[in-house]
Amino acid sequence: MRNSGLTDELVVCVRKPCRYAGIDGVAPFLKASFEFAYGSAKQGSESVALAEGRIGGVQAISGTGALRLGGELLARFRGQGSAIYLPGPSWANHVPIFKDSGLEVKSYTYYDPSTCGLNLPGMLADVAAAPAGSVFLLHACAHNPTGVDPTPEQWVEISKAMKAKSHVAFFDSAYQGFASGDAEKDARAVRQFVDDGHHILLAQSYSKNFGLYGERVGALSAVTASPQETAAVVSQMKILVRRNSNHA
């Protein structure tokens, strides 16, 4: 996998001796995880938002745990029963995860079976029709179950359309580096949205791309407008971690 420096760091963090960590998780792992997704100076792709302290998060029980924490966070501050839009189709477990988090699950157009490709016009129409400020779940790469991803140019259009409606992007990244063999390439959509000024949520899993199935390694992070806002969001994430999985 390209980006071997960061991948090595992540594995070393996971393989260290077991001991209690802070409620937010193992700090070196979180640093490496955020750099892996958002960019690192080591790879020539430094993230401005990360350098400014506008990205923070917590360790989670793989991608499923990260999605659940994100869903509970949204339900707590947007209200029980608020909507999250999933692509049609999506990973089957997305529906119960978000329903059990207290969200109403809705769908947006994604796959076109007639072309075995992306129905971009339908997707953009649904993005435009959704109430302003809606939450959209996006697969960062290797869409599950279709394997159909937007092109870089299409991601630009999707970002612009979501920005116009002030929608919230919640990325599910379970295959970074596994989809194309290039971790930098597979992070393109997430970084595009951050560069375009979106404040996003990101669920990361390391089961498939690192083969860490039994270790249940993941993270939930948020990109916000300021370091102060990031600290406040992470504080709320830690409250949820404390009552759900607890690392300390």
Identified catalytic residue from 126, 149, 172, 186 = 172
Q: Identify whether the C-beta of residue 245 lies closer than 8 Å to the C-beta of residue 61.
A: yes
Partners of residue 159 on adjacent β-strands: none
- The secondary structure element, H or E, covering residue 36 is helix 27-38
Give the position of tokens 């971790």: 183
Identified catalytic residue from 24, 91, 149, 238 = 91
Give the position of tokens 């059990």: 100
Please calculate the CA angle 84-69-46 and round it to the nearest 5 degrees.
90
Identified catalytic residue from 126, 186, 208, 238 = 208
172 is catalytic: yes
Please calculate the CA angle 40-176-121 and round it to the nearest 5 degrees.
110
16 is catalytic: no
Q: Identify whether the C-beta of residue 26 lies closer than 8 Å to the C-beta of residue 59.
A: yes
Q: Which residues are catalytic?
A: 91, 172, 208
